[in-house]
Amino acid sequence: MILIEGGRAVSPKNGLDGIYHILLDGDKVVKVSEDFITDLPEGTTVLDASGKLVLPGLIDMHVHFRDPGQTHKEDIYTGCAAAAAGGVTSVACMPNTAPPVDSPELVRYILDRAETAKARVYPVACVTEGMKGETVTDMAALKAAGAVAFSDDGRPVKNARVMMEGMWHAERVGRKVLSHCEDLDIINGGIMHKGDVSRTLGVPGMDRASEDSVTAREICLADSAGTPVHICHVSTRGAVDLIRHAKQRGIRVTCETAPHYFILDHEKLLGRDADYRMNPPLREQKDIRAVLGGIIDGTIDCIVTDHAPHAAEEKADFLKAPNGVVGLETSFAACYTYLVKKGVVSLRRLVELMSENPARLLGIPGGSIEEGGPADIMIADPEEKWTVDPAKLHSRSKNTVFKGMTFQGKVKMTICRGEIVYDSENDKG
Which residues are the active-site residues? 306
User: CA 223, CA 217: separation in Å to the nearest integer?
Assistant: 10
Helix (H) or strand (E) holding 61: strand 58-63
Using CA atoms, how far residue 353 sits from 61, 74, 301, 302, 339, in Å, is 11, 26, 6, 4, 11
Task: Compute φ and ψ for 416, nearest 5 degrees.
Answer: -130, 130
At 78, which amino acid appears?
A: T
In this structure, are residues 11 and 366 in contact, taking their beta carbons and an 8 Å threshold?
Answer: no
Q: What is the C-alpha to C-alpha distance for residues 325 and 398, in angstroms, rounded to an integer?
A: 8
Rounded to 10 degrees, what is the CA torsion of 366, 330, 408, 7?
20
What DSSP string describes 403-426?
TT-EEEEEEEEEEETTEEEEEGGG
Residue among 161, 211, 203 at smallest CA distance from 186: 211
Helix (H, G, I), strand (E, B) or coil at 19: strand
Residue 402 to residue 368: CA distance in whole angstroms: 28
Q: Which of 171, 181, 121 is nearest to 150 (CA)?
A: 171
* Rounded CA separation 80/117 (Å): 6
Sorted by sequence, the CB contacts under 8 Å of residue 373 that are 6+ apart come out as 28, 29, 365, 366
Q: What is the Rg, in whole angstroms, of the alpha carbon atoms belonging to the chain?
A: 21
3-state SS string over 151-214? CCCCCCCCCHHHHHHHHHHHHHCCCEEEECCCCHHHHCCCCEECCHHHHHHCCCEECHHHHHHH
CA 16 to chain centre: 24
